[in-house]
Chains A and B, each alone.
Chain A
Amino acid sequence: MRDVAVVGFSQSVSLRRERNRNEVEILIPVLQELREATGYTNEDLEFVCSGSSDYLAGQAFAFVAGLDAVGAWPPVCESHVEMDGAWALYEAWVKIQMGYADVALVYGFGKPSMGDLPITMALQLDPYTVMPLWPDAISVAALQARLCLDGGVMTDRQMAEAAVRDRAHAKSNPHAQVAGDFDVEGILSEPYLVSPLRKHDCSPISDGASAVLLASSNRAGDFSKRPAWIRGIEHICEPQDLGVRDLTRSRSTEIAAEKAGVGAGRIDVAELSAPFSHQEILVERGLGLGADTTVNPSGGALAGNPLMAVGLARIGEAAARITNGEAERAVAHATSGPCLQQNLVCVLEG
């Protein structure tokens, strides 16, 4: 295995509706900031990989426009995943492992505010037997939350506590969308959005972008004084049908965590991109995190959820805390699909 590190990270502010900029215009300053922070030029890039979704943009091949922000002439070695940028990072990591590149640029972007996001998300369900019923993303998550509550797996108080913790952490995150001091009792007295989920249990709808620069040990020192080395990365997927999975635990997170070696040492910081409070608890358990881990110091997905960029931003946030010396060992998580169907776990060390 080659040693590969996150050597730079940048992200936009998460906004409920980015009124004045299209996706490329959201991405441009993010890549510009990454260039300035790391000093990379396009000549350094041997691979470029992005994550986005045409359904969010409402147009086919929408990701091609994103290349305007990269600069793709002379032509670049490029790939795209119709997933969160965290999976684009995985592809870039594989590319570097294969010896095809030493430096790779990874980015993710999304502007879900242009459509009705919970309804758009119905398109990720089985197209024959489920999607025609148009179950929106909040309702589907609510089905899982009730299974957890009815099954005694967690309480709504624990869900509220997760939301309160994240949004309190987010106060120190200038990129967060929902931040502040909330109190559990107040939250529990609020009405349901889609019972049993209250508004605070849900991540906000966010427009935004994030970007990461990856480098092998041959080049990492050129861009960062303290690279965050990827010591383990794995993604595991469960079946699509909700009925054949145990929705009250996240088996795929457990398996990915084991393969990525989460338990091999103390984890100082964990960055999770679970979009609902009950899912955050399931992921936290799936990773096997203990009381000595600070969970979501950035606020996580509950503080800002720029779809297709949020998972990559978790890897970036975890890496940034290693680079700035706050953490020695960190884990980042990304998810895709309904009810935590697919999960990616990345272990980083200083």
Chain B
Amino acid sequence: MSQGTDASLTAPHTLSYTYKRSLGPLLGRFFTGLRDRQILGAKRADGSVLMPPKEYDPDTSAALDELVPVGPGGVVKSWAWVSAPRKQQPLDRAFAYALVQLDGADTAFLHVVDAGEESAMQTGMRVTARWSDEATGQITDLTFIPEA
């Protein structure tokens, strides 16, 4: 414990949760897809595609089962520029969180765009998936970069 001039003693504490989450059949296929460098969205009854996929339709509650490939390119619907990333965040240099609507998907999903600098970001810009060297089947296997 450190003892400063304050009346209260303080101590650093790191809380760790070793979560191991069951994926279930639908998300199991989604993350297996990522491992195999393929992005899959869930097809709804009206033909629209939900990305990220969900087990149930958020509007109708109908069970969803059919996964279809989406991306790897897409459009930035919104973005936020993170100039000073925190240690937990996926990149150690400035980057953008963005709502990306992948080609073939009807909803935007939150991900990361490695654009180098803020001036390279623009709503409506095209981005494409960049895979990490060793995809293991996690959402962090992906990063998006501005389309050349």
Contacts and interface: CB of A to CB of B under 8 A. Distances in A.
Asked whether the complex places CB atoms of A and B closer than 8 A, the reply is yes
Given A20-B7, A243-B107, A142 B80 contact: yes
7 contacts: A59-B15, A130-B52, A130-B109, A140-B80, A195-B118, A241-B58, A243-B101
Contacts of B27: 128
A116 B86 contact: yes
Interface residues of B, number: 43
Given A146-B79, A194-B80, A195-B80, A135 B107 contact: no
Contact of B110 (A119, A143, A147): A143
A159 to B, nearest CB: 15
Contacts of B90: 133-134
A139 B80 contact: yes
> Can you list the 3 inter-chain pairs with the closest CB atoms, starting with the nearest?
A142-B80, A243-B107, A129-B52
A21 B78 contact: no
A128 B21 contact: yes
Given A130-B139, A139-B82, A195-B80, 19 more contacts: A19-B7, A22-B8, A127-B19, A127-B21, A128-B139, A129-B52, A129-B109, A134-B90, A140-B97, A146-B80, A147-B99, A195-B81, A195-B118, A239-B58, A241-B58, A242-B110, A243-B52, A243-B109, A244-B58
Interface string B47-69: 00011101000110000000000
B112 interface: yes
Contacts of B101: 243
Interface string B1-14: 00000111000010
B86 A241 contact: no
B120 interface: no
A144 interface: yes
Contacts of A195: 80-81, 118
Interface of A: 19-22, 58-59, 116, 118-119, 122, 125-130, 132-136, 138-140, 142-144, 146-147, 150, 192, 194-197, 239, 241-244
Contacts of A136: 82, 86, 89
Contact of A143 (B8, B79, B86): B79
Given A19-B6, A119-B88, A139-B82, A132 B15 contact: no
Interface in B1-51: 6-8, 13, 15, 19, 21, 23, 27, 30-31, 50-51
Most buried by A among B27, B30, B86, B97: B97
Say what secondary structure dominates the interface of chain B: mixed
B111 interface: yes
Nearest to B27: A128
A128 B23 CA distance: 8
B6 A20 contact: yes
A125 B58 CA distance: 16
A133 B110 contact: yes
A133 B21 contact: no
Given A127-B21, A143-B98, A241 B80 contact: no
Given A126-B52, A147-B77, A243 B108 contact: yes
Nearest to A21: B8
B8 A19 contact: yes
A35 to B, nearest CB: 25
A194 B81 contact: yes
B67 to A, nearest CB: 13
A114 to B, nearest CB: 8
A241 B54 contact: yes
Contacts of B132: none
B81 A192 contact: yes
Interface string B83-110: 1001011100000011101000001111
